[in-house]
Amino acid sequence: MTTTLAQWLAAQPVDQKLASVVATMADASAEIATVLRLAPIAGQTGLAGATNVQGEAQKALDVISNDIVLNHIGQNSEVSILVSEELDEAVHIENQGGFMVATDPLDGSSNLDVNVTVGTIFSVLDAGKGLLQKGNAQLAAGYAAYGPATSLVLSFGASTSVFTLDGSGTFVLTQERVSVAPGSGEYAINTARERFWDDATKGYVAENVAGETGPMGKRYNMRWVGSMVADIHRILMRGGIFLYPLDSETVSKGGRLRLLYEANPMALLVEAAGGKSTTGRERILDLVPTGIHQRVPVILGSAEEVERVEGWYAKV
């Protein structure tokens, strides 16, 4: 017997108004999945001819995905604030809704034209507590991964569950209480940036590259998709560690990935599944945001691997 997302949400011990916000983001994700599947036929690939607040060139599908999220959020009276990677400022919706959604509507969009997994990431918070809240204040977090199947990964903080979009457009529960393996032989990092790395990152990666002949005494494989959703989904399913550390090129910006709608929701999902998250020196969910588009270093995944990285930062 299958369990639909609607049935699962109704059974959760959470405010059903909060559950409705998660359902709204699921509906937006299902629509985005359809748009992505048909985008090459509809001529919706390529650049949109604009840049976002981060100065990044927007793909046409970045803009379309953002519009889809805006449309769905606008129809849910429980949401009063939307923060999006694609918008300079927070959108304040004219209602008395008690929730704020922070989202990257289309993560990894540079992979779109080569048909690699991309996704939508989101975080739900109490709108009454302001725009800048620690990650440990999140009420829910999730992402949709648009790959061979469309997966929806959700957490209200206690555990992490996975749903799959069926042929009728309904999300069905396919894995409950995901557990991230404590140890792993896989790591995800962009090695093209090695010349910018700090000593802690160099030390950790060098141990992995040494394999059986190194201090860890086992072989490691490096996996890097270039889409955060794809890399984190792999880690949730079979363990591993994701690293986008602070380096000499990103230090002036504070890091590469955004805290509110990339680092925080992913950290919640991974930690709720038994993994760990850190900047190298501090737990991601304990960071105090300074801006809605703030960037931070991100290291998360299997607990033993994250602790190894923290150990390197503690000694260099």
Residue 228 has pLDDT above 70, yes or no: yes
Mean pLDDT on 130-144: 98
| Own/partner pairs, 279-283, CB within 8 angstroms, 24+ separation | 279/246, 279/255, 280/200, 280/245, 280/246, 280/309, 280/310, 280/313, 281/310, 281/313
* CATH ID of 186-315, from 3.10.129.10, 3.40.190.80, 3.40.50.2300, 3.40.50.150: 3.40.190.80
**What integer best gives the mean pLDDT of the chain?**
95
Q: What CATH superfamily classification does 5-175 receive?
A: Fructose-1,6-Bisphosphatase, subunit A, domain 1 (3.30.540.10)
Question: Domain ranges in the chain?
Answer: 5-175, 186-315
Dig out the tokens for 172 from the structure. Answer: 């069905």
pLDDT at 55: 61
Tell me the pairing of strands 186-188 and 221-222.
parallel
Condensed to tens digits (0 to 9), the pLDDT of residues 199-227 reads 999 999 999 999 999 999 999 999 999 99
Contact (CB, 8 A) for 101 and 133: no
Q: What are phi and psi of 81, to 5 degrees?
A: -140, 135
Chain-centre distance for alpha carbon 212: 32
Predicted confidence band at 110 (pLDDT cuts at 50, 70, 90)?
Answer: confident
Predicted confidence band at 111 (pLDDT cuts at 50, 70, 90)?
Answer: confident
Mean pLDDT on 67-73: 97
pLDDT at 60: 87
Q: Using alpha carbons, select from 296, 282, 292 the residue that is nearest to residue 228.
A: 296
Predicted confidence band at 113 (pLDDT cuts at 50, 70, 90)?
Answer: confident
Predicted confidence band at 52 (pLDDT cuts at 50, 70, 90)?
Answer: low
| Whether the model pTM is above 0.85 | yes
